[in-house]
Amino acid sequence: MTKRRVAITGMEVVAPNGGDLTSFWDALQNGRSGIGPITRFDARSHDVRIAGELKDFDPSPELDRKEIRRNDAFTHYAVAVASRAVRHSGLDLEREDPERIGVIWGSGIGGIGTHEQQHTVLMEKGPARISPMYVPMMICDMAAGMISMKLGAKGPNYAAVSACASAAHAIGEATRKIQYGEAEVMVGGGSEAAVTPISIAGFAAARALSTRNDEPTRASRPFDRGRDGFVLSEGAAALILEDMEHARKRGADILAEVLGVGYTADAYHQTAMAPGGEGGARAIRAALRDAGLAPDAIDYVNAHGTSTLLGDVQETAALKAVFGAHAGRLAVSSTKSMTGHLLGATAAVESVACVLSLRHGVIPPTINLEDPDPECDLDYVPNICRRMPVRYAINTSFGFGGHNAVLVFGRFAG
């Protein structure tokens, strides 16, 4: 069976360093960080007091008061970016077959803010005071469900939950639905709203987070010798994926193509990557095979690059294993240096960055890369963006539990 081509025709993002597509891209090009002191709660008793929070986010254009009250913030973010991405695509949903439109959405933690708040209610006021909306607000699949309700999308609909690879799996699965004819249009992406007391405390207890509290914008520093962990962030991004012929027939502005998807498991450790990034390397190879591309065709890698001591070294090893001599010619950058780590939403945000790079011929930098780790010796586009033609780009995502997902994007050439 010949796979159908998959066009990207719409996008939207809400990230710590940009509340829409235009401001986000401006921030990436100019190396602007969205990390700052935590304001969501009183963090004075925490070892980690910095995060990437959304600023001035307003869900009311897409959700009414009751819907806002009955949904967690991760669903607010999801509905907002999905609705705005549809508008960006120019789709007239009233003219489409709703059964041929689907939604697959990623979130690593879902409604953890609701869970924390309702646990406090339970402890202080007893079980009779728990909200009847507690479970629907908390579960990870509710974002996909609410998007489908708001858009009237009646096709494939479910959630992808694979820690930091969640949104990559969501976009990859949405791509598959179109490739094999199960849908004409798919909404793929991810959202996370995990800047909460227990999330910060939990990741800090695992020694995964940066404690550079006095220099928040310099805290996320992938591949730098002085890195000390990632910065937890929140936000969301959505991509509108369409069957290529469907997009052409309606005269859509085709932003890029999804060319390849690769999934693997490390089968190694709960939180650490397999030695040498072996599982990640296999995922990259699988994605390249799926795309029908040789390794030396890739121009840009938007790296997982979390700013953890072991993870950055392992990812560097994985890239060398796959790309060989071409690894030294790749432009590699971690936009997490500017956004922080959005957990289950991160691959969606980074996929948007890849598409923008393809469109504009600009590689976002890895900021805060001042003293490169000798074990991280690739071209990480340090501190200043680079203008260069980009034909093919990949985004790598590696999640707790050994989940690896890699996406390959290509510039649309007709």
Dihedral pair phi/psi, residue 212, rounded to 5°: -80, 65
Q: Which two tokens stand for residue 70?
A: 């009955």
246 is catalytic: no
Give the 3-state secondary structure of residue 197: helix
Q: Which of 341, 354, 385, 403 is catalytic?
A: 341
What's the token pair of residue 335? 């936009």
Other CB atoms closer than 10 Å to residue 162's CB: what's the count? 25
**CA–centroid distance for 324 within its chain:** 27
d(Cα 397, Cα 410) in Å, to the nearest integer? 18
- Burial group, residue 267, by CB count within 10 angstroms (0-12, 13-18, 19+): exposed
Per residue in 370-382, is it b (16+ CB within 10 Å) or e — as a string?
Answer: eeebeebebbbbb
* Catalytic position from the list 76, 140, 164, 246: 164
Residue 240 parent element (H or E): strand 235-243
- For residues 380 and 333, is the Cβ–Cβ distance under 8 A? yes
385 as an active site residue: the answer is: no
Pick from 88, 53, 91: which is nearest to 73 by CA?
A: 53
- Distances in Å between the alpha carbon of 103 and those of 136, 186, 394, 414? 18, 6, 22, 26
Name the residue among 221, 228, 206, 234 with its Cα closest to residue 346.
234
Q: Which of 76, 88, 115, 304 is catalytic?
A: 304
Known catalytic membership, residue 164? yes
Nearest CA-CA partner of 321 in 283, 354, 293: 283
Cα 389 versus chain centre, distance: 23
Residues noted as catalytic = 164, 304, 341
